[in-house]
Amino acid sequence: MGGEHTQETKGHRDPREKKGDDGASARESQPSAETIRHRSGGKPGDLKVVSWNTCGFTGKKIELEERFSVLNPDVLLLQETLVQQRELWIPGFQVVSQPAEDSPGKRGVAIAVRGGLSVKEVGVQGPHFCLGEIKGLFGKSVIGSVYIPCNEQTATMEDLGRAVGKLVVRKGQILLGGDWNLDRASLTAEVEKWRLDAKVIEYNGSPMTRHAWKNDRREWSTLDYFVSVGPVVCTKAVV
């Protein structure tokens, strides 16, 4: 699913779609957002995280940058960038990324943080997920951008679970956001297999944030979510 999702979550899935190399429907969605609330040195600090499956990046760079300025996120989680170079540049942001590859499902993921924050890769990285430790006046937080390809859901969730399991022992809490290509019940079941303190975050949204193959809204589903691991304190996601 493409879309922007914020933790403070603001997101939207565009129903227009096309088939990707991995058999998944490739859609640019609107962003979703989540706000993480940290307490460092006794002072709370909010971190706005926006997740967006952009379904491409280079050809729509100006449009995306204009949207980023409106959303004003602290952290951007991008999926399906389709950028094959490891360096993905966004003005005003520091970026770490996993590039797209000429292989099904490996379509590029990235984490970008605004000026005043820093990010570095941490833990085990994979072709379908990028994990980074973000530092700023609020303290530190580990956040991951995730894209689960349709034809490799179980294997990719197992790889991600192993990486997150090792990392949460050291870091204590992690927020994951992205395009999981799983409905809520299936994602919850997969996350429970990790045997970690992990849960799918509740969200507020509109019917425009749903993925659909048919016009019957009863068959629409959401595929973009935030997942918290450990004691992450955050708002209800806005889609």
Q: Percentage of the chain with pLDDT > 90?
A: 50
Q: Report the pLDDT value the prediction gives residue 10, as an integer from 0 to 100.
A: 34
Can you tell me the mean pLDDT for 175-199? Answer: 94
Query: Residue 167 contacts by C-beta under 8 Å, 6 or more apart in sequence?
Result: 122, 123, 124, 131, 142, 174
Query: Residue 160 contacts by C-beta under 8 Å, 6 or more apart in sequence?
Result: 126, 128, 129, 146, 148, 176
Lowest-pLDDT range, 74-88, 175-189, 209-223?
209-223
206 compared with 54, residue with greater pLDDT:
54
**CATH hierarchy code of domain 4-236:** 3.60.10.10
Lowest-pLDDT range, 157-171, 177-191, 192-206?
192-206
Q: What is the per-residue pLDDT across 62-84, written as a single tens digit (0 to 9) for each?
A: 989 998 999 899 999 999 999 98
Kindly report the number of other CB atoms within 10 A of residue 177's CB atom: 33
**Residue 8, preceding bond cis, omega within 30 degrees?**
yes
Can you tell me the mean pLDDT for 224-237? Answer: 83
User: What b-and-e string marks burial along 17-36, b requiring 16 or more CB atoms within 10 Å of the CB?
Assistant: beebebebbbbbbbbbbbbb
Q: How confident is the model at residue 215 (pLDDT cuts 50, 70, 90)?
A: low
Rounded distance between C-alpha atoms, residue 79 and residue 123, angstroms: 19
Of residues 167, 173, 202, 190, the one with CA closest to residue 34: 202
| C-beta separation of 50 from 6 below 8 A | yes
Domain extents in the chain: 4-236
